[in-house]
Chain A
């Protein structure tokens, strides 16, 4: 049982929340993008989280497998999924991407939804940071035990 290993668990949580933040930022930035590389308007993206053991050194992993020990799970981003919600159709004949009927296909991005997602990511990030700091405090305390003797 190694306290230092816990850093990588909390670290994986923070990294995952950060990539979620960047996806949310991308969604907000592209809320009016009518053109993408794939063609058509931008589609909302979402991260997929999966529980996975944090990367450790080889000996640790081998020992855990040999002892049939279940390892504490970190989290990793396994992918970014595009939503298949249909685009919003807005009547704006003057828009350069308007169809012959005058409708423009706009990304279906709801700012409130993105804000809620962002706040939730920030809170989760903070929770991981608190766990990280409390691990740090424990390690510092145990170092003090050696110093005072």
Chain B
């Protein structure tokens, strides 16, 4: 029974994912706010890279979390280094405007919608995982 814990790495992973998605939402919202700012370059957050480095750094250690009583996984997500300026192949000629702004509203809206859906997916999964826990706590009764 050593491997069985109330809050296992699934919850941590989903929490990390929610944090990463919320951070990306902030970055994309900032791009939309600056859609008319001269010289502004859009930024993005590489969610996959952030998650990969969090998992590979081994911060998803469930035992550590329960002993310390706090989620150590929250420190594992390096949001700052995952932010980058994306290069779009078509933006060099089409979208770059005279004022040097390279934000394409359509693209940013598409990205933010995609990101919101991914956030909701993680949230639904977390909700299911917690519902399973509740089911077990209630000894299987509804």
Q: Which A residues lie at the B interface, using CB under 8 A?
A: 1-3, 5-6, 9-10, 12-13, 16-17, 20, 48-51, 67, 69-70, 72-75, 120-121, 123-124, 127-128, 130-131, 134-135, 137-138, 141-142, 144-145, 148-149
Q: Are A72 and B32 in contact (CB under 8 A)?
A: no
Pair B22/A1 contact, Cβ less than 8 Å:
yes
Majority-rule SS of B interface residues = helix
CB distance from B85 to the nearest CB of A (A): 12
The answer to whether residues A148 and B127 also contact, given A1-B23, A124-B105 and a CB cut-off of 8 A, is yes
Expressed in whole angstroms, the Cα–Cα distance for A75 and B103 within the complex equals 13
B123 on the interface (CB 8 Å rule)? yes
Q: Which interface class (under 10, 10 to 19, 20 to 34, 35 or more) fits B?
A: 35 or more
Let me know if B36 and A49 touch, CB within 8 A. yes
Contact of B29 among A2, A20, A72 (CB under 8 A): A72
Given contacts A127-B105, A148-B127, contact A3 B33 (CB under 8 A): no
Chain A hits for B79, CB < 8 A: 1
Chain B 78-135 residues near chain A, CB threshold 8 A = 79-80, 83, 105, 108-109, 112-113, 116, 119-120, 123, 126-127, 130-131, 134
In the complex, whether B10 has a CB less than 8 A from a CB of chain A is: no
Q: Which residues of B contact A70 (CB under 8 A)?
A: 80, 83
Q: Which of B25-56 contact A (CB under 8 A)?
A: 25-30, 32-38, 40
Contact between A124 and B29, CB atoms less than 8 A apart: no
Interface residues of B (CB under 8 A from A): 18-19, 22-23, 25-30, 32-38, 40, 79-80, 83, 105, 108-109, 112-113, 116, 119-120, 123, 126-127, 130-131, 134
Across-interface contacts of B30 in A (CB, < 8 A): 9, 51, 72-74
Judged by DSSP, the binding face of A is helix
Q: What are 18 inter-chain pairs, A to B, with CB distance below 8 A? A: A9-B29, A10-B29, A48-B38, A49-B38, A51-B30, A70-B80, A74-B33, A75-B33, A124-B32, A130-B32, A130-B109, A131-B28, A131-B32, A134-B116, A135-B29, A138-B22, A141-B119, A149-B134
Query: Given B105, B108, B131, which contacts A149 in the complex, CB threshold below 8 Å?
Result: B131
Give the distance in Å from the alpha carbon of A51 to the alpha carbon of B103 in the complex: 13
Establish whether residues A73 and B33, one from each chain, have CB atoms under 8 Å apart when the complex forms: yes
B123 lies within 8 A of A145 (CB) = yes
CB distance from A108 to the nearest CB of B (A): 19
By a CB distance below 8 angstroms, the chain B residues around A142 are 18, 123
Are A137 and B116 CB-contacts (below 8 A) given A1-B23, A70-B83?
A: yes
Q: Is the CB of B105 within 8 A of A50?
A: no
